[in-house]
Amino acid sequence: MKRKIITALALIFILFGIGSWIAVHNMTKTTADLRSLIALHEIEDIRQELNLAAQKMMSYANAPAERFRNNIDDIVRDMNLFTGTIAKCQTCHHEATIQQELELTSSMGVEFETQFSLMLATDQESDWRKQNQKKTLLLGEQIIERVQGMVNRAAVTIRKQTDLAMQQIDHSYTVLLVTFGVTFLIAFFIAQYLTHKISRPIEALSTAAKQITAGSLGYQTDYKATSDFAGLIMAFNEMSRSLAEKELENKNLTGNLQQKVRELKMAQKQLVEAEKMTALGTFAGGIAHDFNNILCGIISNITLLKRRDDTSGEARSLLETIEKAGFRAASLIQQLLTFARQEVGEKIPLSINEHITNVLKLISNSLPPQIVIQMKLAEDLPAVLGDATRLEQVILNLVLNARDAMPDGGSLTITTRKVQLDEGDAAANPDISPGSYVAISLQDTGIGMNETVLARIFEPFFTTKPFGQGTGLGLAMVHGIIRGHHGACTVTSSLGHGTTFTIHLPVTDEKADLGRDKENSRIFTSGYLE
Amino acid sequence: MPAPTLPTHRFFLVAAAILAVIAPLPCWAAEHLSVGLLAESNVFRQARHYEALLRRVEEKTDIVLTLRIMSNADLLEKGLADRTLDAAFVEAHSVARMLQQEIITTVASPLYLDGSSSSHSKIFTLSDSQLTTAAESIGKPFALVNRSSATGYLYPLAWLLESGITDRENLFFTGSHDGAIAAVLDGTAKLGAASSTVYEIFFKEHPENRKRLRIIATSNPIPDFTFCMRTDLNQNLIKTLGDTLRSLHLDPDNEQILNDLNLLGFIPANQTGFRFVLELAAKAGLAPGLQPPAAPR
């Protein structure tokens, strides 16, 4: 575009320059010719003056002698004018032919002056005077004739030069008019062209800018520029596209950030929960240990008392009651220790599906008929490394909790599957490390829990059951057992819709040892389950 | 209380002071003089040259000088006599006559390029003419200059009278010295008389014609035209103009003006030369009473 503008301006300048040069050249030539013409007119004035002076001298020469007596000074003055005019003529002309003619005229003038002087010196009529008068008149006529001839020739020349000058002036006017006209037209068309070439892209860019301002990031103008604006429009479209991409990226980043914030909050919550559970475990473990020692002493002494012979039957009955209470207390202490110490037995590779099936077979008769159990167990589920007894205890506890949550019946769906947990999952739950897990979900359609209950569900001795119907150690023990397996137990619940417990147990590469698995599988059916 | 008197003594003091200031100024401070000139050769050329001379004198003297060309000697003399002219370049015969009447005083005489201050009258004829004596000129047309010229009028008359020729029928005035030469050259006259000064100038300009003429008589030195002023003019004025003319040659700027007049300069006029003119007039048969000769043809 810049090149086009420069080229256009240069074209206008060149055209105008050429036209002006021609016009100025013509004007200069015309002016020079006019000056020459003016000079010719001035010369013509001199010729006329010479002619007049010659005529005047002729009138003097024709006059009688008496007339000279008192006005000879006038004659002298006019003769000086006459000869002076001839001299002036000679200073004007430089052309050889005219110069020669003027020199001849000048010599004739000198002769005329001499002859006139001879005539003038005699102020009385005489032959001598007549003779000189005749010669003077003849010379005068010759001079006048010559001057007249020069005047006539000069008039022709002047007329020709005048015509030529007028033609040149007309030509100059024409050239000037044509130059101005052509330059104006070209300038007009160039201005139109440049305006079109500049305004259209600017309008397109303006429209695009308004669209972007209005929020249409990524708006692309479809104007097809062929000039420098093509690059500008391309850059503008690229800028718009880049803005749109950046905006999308920002949205993603914002979403990710929000997700991270949520995850962080969840992790914080889990961490707090874990810390809380750890603190409770430590606290409960310490108390349980001491109580366990105390109970050992109590139960041992009761046993000793019962063995004594002197113990009456009534007393023995009471001791048995005390002993039973002691064993029940010991059972509670054991559950508390299980929660607190997260103690598990020997871990072996086992198939969790099999143990779930075993547990359900064991308690199916004790579940009310209104409760429908659905099993969705993954077939090729990998083995997990765990204590079979403890894990069956966990599943049994969760199934019984579901039963209690569905007093009017419902469905319990038990699902197993293999899952891959990543860093995000690990960040959301401090008990989890990235890796492969077997996920076990128990989803009931029971009464569900509110947030307050949900937050304390794994605390020891926390129960929603009426006093005396539960110890509040079942889910705490579940939590402790699962943590003892380096797994995680999470719960989600919606009040009135049901609760879902999900257990994640790390997968082992080893195959499940079914023989040992069955051997180690045993359910404490009394004293443990609530 | 006495009446106040005019401070006459103060008036006279002021008047005296004014006079003291203006008294040293020349009395001709605003003088205008008319200077007459009688043609002796080409009148127009002469007018130009004398006009230049007067302008130069005017510059040097602050005297306004007006050149007046006179068509004949009578008008010149009359002009000086009736004071319409104040000064003039006058031919010798007129000078002599007006000196007698004390109309004029001579102021300056010309000093020619050859160092002389006078001319000779030359009587000439065509080279191929058989004329050698005055006697042989009887009946032949004789071209003279004018009555005021000693060289162009008095001497030829005296030359003729000396040979006893009194017939003046064939004499005619050409009005100028070069006219007399021209008349002989073109055959209008068989004889002519002119000043040797003009004669030399003429043939200096027309050397091709010099050999066409032959001198048959030459006079003794005769004073040529002389610058004269009226005697009644202020003597300081006369002295100033005379001094100016006589000192022109001292200024190199005046060389061209003097050259155009074929002069080296001006010298003091010697009035004794004009006695010879009067004697010549007597020899020419002209009475001392200034009687002009019979009008020539």
pLDDT tens profile B223-247: 888 999 999 999 999 999 999 999 9
Higher-scoring residue by pLDDT: A226, A314: A314
Closest-approach residue (CA) in chain B for A115: B42
Q: B43 to chain A: which residues are within 8 Å by CB? A: 72, 76, 117, 120-121
B143 and chain A: CB distance < 8 Å anywhere? yes
Give the pLDDT confidence score for residue A372 in this predicted structure. 92
Query: In this predicted structure, which of A34-48, A184-198, A244-258, A455-469 has the lowest mean pLDDT?
Result: A34-48
Average pLDDT of the segment spanning A164-188:
82
3-state secondary structure of A439: strand
User: What was the pLDDT predicted at A151?
Assistant: 77
Higher pLDDT, A475 or A339: A475
pLDDT of B131 > 70? The answer is yes
The pLDDT assigned to B84 comes to 93
Q: How far is A121 from chain B (nearest CA, A)?
A: 4
Which residue in the set A72, A122, A128 is minimally distant from B69, CB to CB? A72
Q: Is the pLDDT of residue A271 over 50?
A: yes
Closest-CA distance, B206 to chain A, in angstroms, reads 12
Contacts of A95 (CB under 8 A, 6+ apart): none
Please report the ipTM that was assigned to this predicted complex: 0.81
Contact flag B172-A131 (C-beta cutoff 8 Å)? no
Q: Are A364 and A374 contacting, i.e. CB atoms less than 8 angstroms apart?
A: no
Note the pLDDT of residue B246.
Answer: 93
**Whether pLDDT at A522 is above 70:** no
Interface test with A, best of B35, B37, B41, B42 (most A CBs within 10 A): B42
**Which of the four pLDDT bands, split at 50, 70 and 90, describes residue B91?**
confident
From chain B, the residues in CB contact with A80 under 8 A are 44, 47-48
pLDDT average, residue stretch B261-285: 88
**For A126, which residue in chain B has the nearest alpha carbon?**
B297
Q: Which of residues 130-159 of A touch B (CB under 8 A)?
A: 131-132
In whole numbers, what is the pLDDT of chain A averaged over residues? 83
Question: Does B170 contact chain A (CB < 8 Å)?
Answer: no
The pTM of this model reads: 0.53
Residues near A223 by beta carbon (within 8 Å), at least 6 away in sequence: A200, A201, A204, A233
Distance from the Cα of A99 to chain B's closest Cα (Å) equals 23
Give the span between the Cα atoms of B32 and A205, in whole angstroms. Answer: 98
pLDDT band at B4 (very low <50, low <70, confident <90, very high): very low
Q: Which of A66, A72, A130 to mutate: most B Cβ within 10 Å?
A: A72
One-letter amino acid for residue B134 of the chain:
A
Share of chain A above pLDDT 70, in %: 94
Contacts with A382 (C-beta within 8 Å, 6 or more apart), sequence order: A418, A436, A438, A507, A508
Listed by number, the residues of chain B in 207-266 with a beta carbon closer than 8 Å to a beta carbon of chain A are none
Residues on chain A touching B143 (C-beta within 8 angstroms): 128
Give the 3-state secondary structure percentages of chain B, helix then strand then coil, rounded to 5.
Answer: 45, 20, 35
Of B71, B176, B188, the CB nearest to A72: B71
Contact A117 B143 (CB under 8 A): no
The answer to whether B143 touches B191, Cβ cutoff 8 Å, is yes
CB contact under 8 A, B72 and A123: yes
Instruction: Please write the tens of the pLDDT for every residue from A3-37.
Output: 777 887 788 788 778 877 877 777 777 777 777 77
Task: List, in sequence order, every residue forming a beta bridge with A372; answer none if it has no partner.
Answer: A411
- Tell me which chain A residue has its CA closest to the CA of residue B70: A72
What is the SS3 assignment for A387-425? CHHHHHHHHHHHHHHHHHHCCCCEEEEEEEEEEEECHHH
Tokens of B251: 């200024």
Local confidence band at B248 (pLDDT 50, 70, 90 cut-offs): very high
Main-chain dihedrals φ then ψ at residue A2, nearest 5 degrees? -60, -40
In Å, how far is B20's CA from the nearest CA of chain A? Answer: 42
**Per-residue pLDDT reduced to its tens digit, A69-109:** 667 888 888 888 888 887 777 776 567 777 788 788 888 88
Q: Mark yes or no for CB contact B44/A121 under 8 Å.
A: no
- Please provide the size of chain B in residues: 297
A491 φ, ψ (degrees, to nearest 5):
-140, 140
Q: Which residue has tokens 């003089």?
A: B33
Chain B residues with beta carbon closer than 8 angstroms to that of A124: 173, 295
Within 8 A of B176 by CB-CB distance, chain A residues are 117-118, 121
- Which of B155, B138, B139 has its CA nearest to residue B194? B155
A:B CB pairs within 8 Å: 76
| pLDDT at site B256 | 92
Q: pLDDT, tens digit, for every residue of A317-372? A: 888 888 888 888 888 787 777 777 776 778 889 999 999 998 898 888 888 989 99
Closest to A83 (Cα-Cα) out of A125, A129, A116: A116
Q: Is the Cβ of A113 closer than 8 Å to some Cβ of chain B?
A: yes
Asked if residue B41 lies in contact with residue B177, where contact means CB atoms within 8 angstroms, the answer is yes
Among A474-483, A509-518, B184-193, name the most confident range: B184-193
Q: Do B44 and A80 touch (CB under 8 A)?
A: yes
Contacting residues of B for A120, CB less than 8 Å apart = 39, 43, 71, 175
Min Cα distance A80 → chain B (Å) is 7
Name the pLDDT band for A201 (thresholds 50, 70, 90). Answer: confident
- Contact A184/B at CB under 8 A: no
Mean pLDDT of B260-289: 84
Q: How far is B73 from chain A (nearest CA, A)?
A: 11
- For residue B38, what are its two tokens? 């009688």
Would you call A131 and B178 a contact, using CB atoms and an 8 Å cutoff?
Answer: no
Which residue in A67, A86, A116, A118 has the most chain B C-beta atoms within 10 A of its own C-beta, making it the best mutation to test that interface?
A: A118
Interface touch A80/B182, C-beta < 8 Å: no
* Rounded Cα distance, B117 and B267, in Å: 8
Contacts of B69 in chain A (CB under 8 A): 72-73, 76
Q: Among A30-39, A475-484, B206-215, B262-271, which is the least confidently predicted range?
A: A30-39
Distance CA B126, CA B187 (A): 8
